[in-house]
Amino acid sequence: MNTIRTEASVTWAQALAWRLDRHLLQPVGSESVAAVVRRLGAVLSMDETLADLAVQVRRSSPSPGGLAEALAAGEVIKAFVFRGSMHYIDPQEGAAYLALRAAGRQWELPSWVEHYRLEPENWPDFRAAVRAALSDGPLTVAELGAVLSERREYRHLKPIFDAGAGTLIKPLSWQGDLSLGPSRDGSLTVRRLDDNPRWQGIPALDEAGPRAVLAYFRTYGPAPIENLRYWIGSGLSAGGRRLGSWVDRLGDRLVAVDVEGTVAYAAREDVAALQASSPSDAVRLLPGHDQWVMGPGTKDTHVTPPDARDLMTRKANPVIVAGVVRGTWYRQGDEIAVRWLGGHRPPPAAVEREASRVASLQGRTTSGSSTALARG
C-alpha cells in the first residue's frame, strides 16, 4: 500500500461529529428505510427488533416495522454478508459486498467438497438447480431441499437442508442466486434474487473492491486503515493484498487526515465538510450491535472505550454521547434505565428527550417524568 501524505488535520470531536451526520444521527435524517440501509452499508439482522430500531432511530418520521415492509417490497434485501451473518443491504450498492465475499470461493475448498460431495465443476449446475426450484416463488430452506432431493445427484443433501443448510446456502447468496425472505411460521425463506427489479447482478471484483472501500470511508471515516481491514478485510474475507490494491487504485480520491496524531482516511469529496464540522454533544440511545459501533469495530477506542468493549461485544444497547459509548440502556417496565460508564454524564434533560424518543419507537409510553433512570 502506498504511503499517502496527510493533507488535512481535524480533532476527534470534529471527526465523530461529521460521522454522526453521515450516520443520520445528528441531525436525525429524513430518508426512507432503504436509504438508511444504503447509507450504513449493511444492517445486522441477528435480532429483527434491534435491526428495525437501528433504522428507525435514524429517521425523523420513523415507521416501526418499516424494515420488514421494505424487505417484502424488495427495497432492501437480506443476505449472508459480513462474518457470514445475515444483513440487510441495498439491492444495488450491497452487491459489491457480495462480490467481495464470493471471491474466497469457499465451495472449492477440499473440506467443503468432502462434506457436501459437490465437486467445483458441479457447482454451476447446482446453482442453476436452486434457481429453477425457486422459480415459482419463495420456499423455506427445508422445502428447497425437498425439491432438490428429487434429483438423484442432490438426494444426499436433504438432511442438510432439513437441518437449515446455513453454510451451504451462503455462497448461493454471495453469488446472487438467492436472498433471504420474510420468515414463514418461524422458518427462514429463500427466494430468487433476480426476481427483484432493483437487482443488477454481482459486479466484477475489480469494480466492487474500490467501490466498497470508498463507501466505507464515506460513512465510517475518517478512519485508520486498521478499521478498513476489520470491516472489509476480515468481515468479508477480502484478503490484505487485495484490500491494499483497492486502496491504491482509488488514488487521490482518498485523503490521509491527521486526527490528533492518528493517520486516518476520508474521501476527498468529504474533507471540506469534515474540517468545517463542529463538535457535537448529541445523546443517542442505540440498539445493540448498531453499525455506529460495529462499523469501526469494538477495538476502536475513540468510539468504544476499553471499559465498554465487552458490553458492546455482548450486544448491550449503547448510549453514545458526542459519538462515544458512555453507557448502556435497557427497558425497566415503562421506563428506560441508563447505566453510565465512568464519569461522563450529559445533562439529564438531553437523556430524557432521547429516552422518550426511543420509547415511542418501541411502541411504549413512558411513565411520569423519570424516563431515564440513572444507574451507577
Query: For residue 160, what pLDDT band results from cuts at 50, 70 and 90?
Result: very high
Percent of the chain with pLDDT over 90: 88
Task: Give the per-residue pLDDT at 242.
Answer: 93
How many other C-beta atoms are found inside a 10 Å radius of the C-beta of residue 352? 17
Ranking 154-163, 208-217, 362-371 by mean pLDDT, the lowest is: 362-371
pTM for this prediction: 0.93
Question: What are the pLDDT digits (tens) for 173-203?
Answer: 999 999 999 889 888 899 999 999 999 999 9
Question: What are the pLDDT digits (tens) for 124-147?
Answer: 999 999 999 999 999 999 999 999
The DSSP line for 48-105 is HHHHHHHHHTTBSS--TTHHHHHHHTTSSEEEE-GGG-EEEE-TTTTHHHHHHHHTT-
Specify which residues 257 forms β-bridges with: 8, 264
Give the start-to-end residue ranges of the domains of the chain: 6-61+205-276, 96-195, 283-375
Query: For residue 343, what pLDDT band results from cuts at 50, 70 and 90?
Result: confident
Query: For residue 351, what pLDDT band results from cuts at 50, 70 and 90?
Result: very high
Report the distance separating Cα 112 and Cα 108, nearest Å. Answer: 7
For residue 2, the one-letter residue type is N
Query: For residue 375, what pLDDT band results from cuts at 50, 70 and 90?
Result: low
Residue 153 has pLDDT above 70, yes or no: yes
3-state DSSP call for residue 145? helix
Average pLDDT score, the chain: 93
C-alpha distances out from residue 69 to 34, 54, 112, 187, Å: 10, 15, 36, 18
Task: Give the per-residue pLDDT at 106.
Answer: 93
Residue 367 has pLDDT above 80, yes or no: no
Q: Between 2.60.40, 1.25.40, 1.10.10, 3.40.1350, what CATH number should domain 96-195 receive?
A: 1.10.10
Task: Give the per-residue pLDDT at 121.
Answer: 96
Task: Give the per-residue pLDDT at 332.
Answer: 87
